[in-house]
């Protein structure tokens, strides 16, 4: 068997801390299962800037393209906020460069309720119990990358800033297929979000998702909801949603919102993939990362919650290695460790990153 190539890019602040924890779990399970792996580590974000004066080197981009999967910690911090470089966002943000160069347009952001954490959410138990939502976010287009964008001086010395929200049919078609494939694998229900009442992109979005669903996924029930009302409904009755599809900007918003059901941002993994996946599939070249940021305020203290990174490793087992059984095992073990009361500070506990990680490894 050929070795599975994992590129680990810890990034900044707590990024390397949670990445190390996740790698421990990855190595433990791949050793146990006799899966040959090659792990390479490199720099991304501020850590890369400090050494190379760029947030992502060409070398790292090339390594990422050659890897079977890329595990990212978190990037950024106040030290690098003031650095001004000209050019598109792919130059100013290393992670964005990787997302675009690898064309990982299918961002999967799952959030579920964890029994031991129900009382860490603002919900009553009966409202959130069983909640399990997969946000499918279009990750390569829309208002994040539309041209032109910029800033100029308009009449009377007013500053004018602008960006364009644009989508081509093929971009909507391909992400619709990703969401519908995921929905077919789960409860065969998809909710697609848009602002088709005011936005042209929203109209094209609704038409296109509707057409792909009718023509290619007649077994999946699709509901189209306006974004504003959808947020209200998802917040109110999270258990009534399963797979939720949204464009880049709306997907960014709704994926944080559904995170509330998990009890902490420290519990949210993600996978950015270059195509659709159903269980048992293997896809190369995905970027796996916790949804949380680099948390400079707690960096270096060894108290960051490693679970989002560890659950991102679970997603590597699921989608890059096609081993959903191992992914499930990680998830169940995380729940047991939480049930034992092993909480990091974000969950109101005192456990360290390493205590939580070792707790998980011991049970695996
Ligand atoms: C995310 C983040 C990023 C995004 C930022 C940091 C550029 O919010 O991954 O959700 O908006 O995509
Ligand atoms: Mg976000």
Q: Known catalytic residue: 252?
A: yes
Whether 194 is catalytic: no
Catalytic residue among 252, 288, 319, 346: 252
Q: Are 289 and 270 in contact (CB under 8 A)?
A: yes
Q: Are residues 162 and 148 in contact, defined by beta-carbon separation less than 8 angstroms?
A: yes
| Mean model confidence pLDDT for the chain | 96
pLDDT per residue as tens digits for the range 153-184: 988 999 999 999 999 999 999 999 999 999 99
Query: Is residue 256 flagged as an active site residue?
Result: yes
92 C-alpha to ligand 1 centroid (Å)? 13
| 92 pLDDT more than 90 | no
- Report how far ligand 1's centroid is from the alpha carbon of 252 (Å): 7
- Provide the pLDDT for residue 257: 96
Residues 246 and 139 in one domain: yes
Give 322's pLDDT tier (boundaries 50, 70, 90).
Answer: very high
Question: Which of the residue ranges 48-62, 101-115, 139-153 would you say has the lowest mean pLDDT?
Answer: 139-153
Rg (CA), the chain: 20
Among residues 262, 289, 318, which one ends one of the domains?
262
Q: How far is the CA of 139 from the centre of ligand 1 (A)?
A: 10
Please give the tally of structural domains in the chain. Answer: 2
Mean pLDDT lowest for which of 12-16, 91-95, 174-178, 347-351?
91-95
Does the residue 7 lie in any domain? yes
Q: How confident is the model at residue 89 (pLDDT cuts 50, 70, 90)?
A: confident
Q: Are residues 137 and 200 in the same domain?
A: yes
Whether residue 362 is found in the same domain as residue 284: yes
Confidence of residue 85 (pLDDT cuts 50, 70, 90): confident
Residue 312 included in any domain: yes
The alpha carbon dihedral of 122, 75, 143, 63 has a sign of negative
Which residues is 161 bridged to in the sheet? 151
User: Which of 40, 42, 103, 256 is labelled catalytic?
Assistant: 256
pLDDT for 90: 79
pLDDT higher than 80, residue 194 = yes
Residues having C-beta closer than 5 Å to ion ligand 2? 252
Residue 87 above 80 pLDDT?
no
Whether residue 250 is found in the same domain as residue 327: no
> Where a domain ends, among 242, 262, 282?
262
Q: Please pick, among 24, 120, 123, 195, the residue that the annotation labels catalytic.
A: 195
Average pLDDT over every residue of 257-266 = 96
- What pLDDT band is residue 63 in, cutting at 50, 70 and 90? very high
Does residue 280 sit in the same domain as residue 257? no
The answer to whether residues 1 and 104 belong to one domain is yes
254 CA distance to ligand 2 middle (Å): 9
Residues 359 and 271 in one domain: yes
The mean pLDDT value for 229-244 works out to 98
Residue 86 falls in the annotated catalytic set: no
Residue 117 lies in a domain: no
pTM of the predicted model as reported, rounded to 2 decimal places: 0.96
Alpha helices by DSSP H, listed for 248-287, are 248-259
pLDDT tens for 280-296 read: 899 999 999 999 999 99
Q: Which ligand is nearest to the CA of 293?
A: 1
Q: Is residue 115 part of a domain?
A: no
Task: Among 231, 262, 293, give the residue marking a domain's end.
Answer: 262
pLDDT > 80? residue 86 = no
Q: Which tens digit of pLDDT belongs to each residue from 303-320?
A: 999 999 999 999 999 999
pLDDT of residue 57: 97
pLDDT tens readout for residues 206-220: 999 999 999 999 999
Determine, yes or no, domain membership for 113: no
The answer on pLDDT for 91 being more than 90 is no
State the pairing for strand pair 106-112/132-138. Answer: antiparallel
Beta bridge partners of 107: 137, 272
What CATH number is given to the structural domain containing 255? Answer: 3.40.718.10
Enumerate the β-bridge partners of residue 134. Answer: 110, 243
Give yes or no: residues 309 and 279 share one domain.
yes
* DSSP classification of residue 338: H
Say whether pLDDT at 361 is over 90: yes
Question: Domain residues for 341?
Answer: 1-108+266-364
Candidates 58, 59, 228, 340; catalytic one = 228
Look at the alpha carbons of 245, 251, 253, 255 in this order and tell me if their dihedral is positive or negative.
Answer: positive
Tell me, yes or no, whether 161 and 63 share the same domain: no
Q: Is the pLDDT of residue 324 over 80?
A: yes
The confidence band for 264, taking pLDDT boundaries of 50, 70 and 90, is very high
C-alpha 2 – ligand 2 centre gap (Å): 35
Report yes or no: 172 and 196 within 8 Å, Cβ to Cβ. no
Q: Which ligand is nearest to the CA of 74?
A: 1
**Ligand positioned closest to the Cα atom of 107:** 1
Res. 273 pLDDT band, cuts 50 70 90: very high
Ramachandran sector of residue 348 (left: φ over 0; alpha: ψ -120 to 50; beta: rest) = left
- 291 and 359 housed in the same domain: yes
């Amino acid at each position: 068997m050929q070795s599975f190539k994992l590129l680990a890019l810890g990034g900044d602040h707590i990024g390397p801390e949670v990445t190390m924890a996740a790698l421990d779990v990855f190595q433990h399970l791949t050793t146990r299962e006799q899966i040959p792996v090659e792990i390479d580590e490199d720099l991304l974000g501020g850590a890369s800037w400090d050494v190379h004066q760029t947030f992502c080197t060409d070398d790292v981009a090339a390594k990422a393209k050659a890897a079977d999967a890329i595990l990212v910690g978190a990037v950024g911090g106040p030290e690098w906020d003031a650095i001004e470089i000209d050019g598109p966002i792919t130059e100013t943000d290393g992670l964005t460069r990787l997302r675009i160069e690898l064309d990982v347009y299918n961002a999967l952001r799952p959030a579920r309720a964890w029994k031991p954490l129900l009382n860490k959410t603002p919900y009553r138990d009966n409202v959130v119990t069983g909640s399990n939502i997969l946000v499918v976010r279009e990750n390569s287009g829309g208002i994040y990358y539309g041209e032109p964008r910029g800033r100029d001086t308009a009449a009377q010395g007013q500053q004018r800033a602008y960006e364009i929200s644009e989508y081509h049919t093929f971009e909507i078609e391909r992400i619709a297929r990703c969401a519908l494939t995921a929905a077919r694998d789960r409860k065969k229900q998809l909710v697609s979000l848009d602002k088709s009442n005011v936005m042209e992109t929203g109209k094209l979005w609704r038409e296109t998702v509707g057409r792909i669903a009718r023509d290619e996924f007649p077994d999946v029930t699709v509901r189209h909801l306006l974004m504003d009302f959808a947020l209200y409904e998802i917040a109110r009755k999270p258990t009534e949603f399963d797979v939720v599809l949204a464009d880049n900007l709306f997907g960014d918003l709704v994926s944080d919102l559904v995170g509330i059901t998990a009890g902490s941002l420290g519990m949210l993994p993600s996978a950015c993939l270059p195509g659709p996946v159903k269980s048992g599939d293997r896809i190369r070249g995905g970027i796996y990362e916790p949804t949380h940021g680099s948390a400079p305020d707690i960096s270096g203290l060894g108290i960051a919650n490693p679970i989002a990174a560890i659950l991102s490793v679970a997603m590597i087992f699921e989608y890059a290695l096609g081993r959903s059984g191992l992914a499930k095992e990680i998830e169940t073990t995380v729940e047991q460790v939480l049930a034992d009361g092993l909480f990091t500070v974000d969950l109101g506990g005192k456990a360290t990153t390493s205590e939580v990680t070792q707790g998980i490894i011991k049970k695996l």
